[in-house]
Amino acid sequence: MNEFLTTKLKSLNMALSGFLLSFEIFWKIKNLKPIKNFRKTNIRLDAFENSILESLNKDGVAVTNIENFSPALLDDLVRWKNEIQHNRRSSLIKDFLIYFIGGSYKSEKQQFEELNPLISFSIDKSLLNIINSYLGMWVNLIYLEMNETKIIDKSEPLKKSQKFHRDPGINSCIKVFIYLNDVEEGGGPFTYVKGSHRYGKYWKFCKQRFFGAGGSYPDLDQLSEKVNKNDIWEIYGSAGSVIIADTTGIHSGGNSFKKIRQMTTSLYYPPGDPLKSKITCNFDIESLELNECQHFALCRK
């Protein structure tokens, strides 16, 4: 390689390192307090939490069961779903889904008049320990969803989140899903490309968008060329399966060809991200006796 090219490459490398360094500094400043809070509490994860964190760090996704958080919670969630049947509405944005809760992050404010099982689960201490440890800071719970897929014909073109994509975010974000019914092949499984999260082997493929509600969508031919098919994980599971995923990694979901899927979503972002909480609780939060980290997740705006 000639000297001119070597010098150019070196300066390009230095500029890139400078950019990455300034990004790291910018991100730390934007999240100074949540990072400090997380470090100050110096939590010790138990064996279960550690195994989930390990999978998240390695693959960007982890699967467990709701019973590991709270044994009665699945029944509570299903009962609550039946109680809020009157909320059922089709989505204009994603016409392959019927929503019980959520469905329009951009325009919706979520007001809850009483505590419900999805909020209880979403601020579970153990769950927050895992998410906060993954992101290295206290996070905000920003949005909740409960939806049901519609059965579509396999020949129909895939739309929106049915296609592989990355969710937007300055850095990473976490979505936690609970299957409310058994999900098998053709039943709308959440699908994740293992290693497509930040620092994973596919991170550089199809960069995520920093801002906006829409994500970035990889070219499918390139995806099948660059990604080992063994790393594409269609996640099947019984009712009560819990999926914790960094959805700035490549994923898709909602493709029900045989059977519907009912699922909840809890969405968490670092407080420094432009995507903010849409959740307001119009009930006595103080009576819940939350610890500081739980309170921060639910109430910080």
User: For binding to Fe ion (CB under 5 A), which residues are involved?
Assistant: 161, 167, 247
Alpha-carbon separation of residue 278 from 105, 164, 231, 268, 298 (angstroms) = 8, 25, 34, 11, 10
From CA 165, how far away is CA 187, in angstroms rounded? 19
Alpha-carbon separation of residue 78 from 128, 172, 279 (angstroms) = 22, 30, 21
Alpha-carbon separation of residue 237 from 36, 133, 135 (angstroms) = 37, 25, 26
Closer residue to Fe ion in complex, CB, 211/283: 211
Closer residue to Fe ion in complex, CB, 33/160: 160
* Residue 168 C-beta: closest distance to Fe ion, Å: 9
Closer residue to Fe ion in complex, CB, 31/248: 248
Closer residue to Fe ion in complex, CB, 247/266: 247
Q: Which two tokens stand for residue 10?
A: 């070196």
Reference 168, options 122, 207, 199; nearest CA is 207
Closer residue to Fe ion in complex, CB, 247/294: 247
* Residue 190 C-beta: closest distance to Fe ion, Å: 9
Closer residue to Fe ion in complex, CB, 172/247: 247
* Residue 197 C-beta: closest distance to Fe ion, Å: 13
Closer residue to Fe ion in complex, CB, 68/216: 216
* Shortest-Cβ-distance residue relative to Fe ion: 167
* Residue 188 C-beta: closest distance to Fe ion, Å: 14
* Residue 275 C-beta: closest distance to Fe ion, Å: 12
From CA 25, how far away is CA 45, in angstroms rounded? 27
* Residue 138 C-beta: closest distance to Fe ion, Å: 23
Side-chain half-sphere exposure of 54, counting CA atoms within 13 A: 7
Closer residue to Fe ion in complex, CB, 133/247: 247
From CA 261, how far away is CA 148, in angstroms rounded? 6
Strand ranges (E), the chain = 61-65, 89-90, 97-101, 110-112, 140-149, 174-179, 190-193, 232-235, 241-245, 251-252, 262-269, 279-281
* Residue 208 C-beta: closest distance to Fe ion, Å: 11
Phi-psi region of 240 (alpha: psi -120 to 50; beta: other; left: phi over 0): left
From CA 262, how far away is CA 78, in angstroms rounded? 10
> Residue 22 carries which side chain, given as an amino acid letter?
S
* Residue 251 C-beta: closest distance to Fe ion, Å: 6
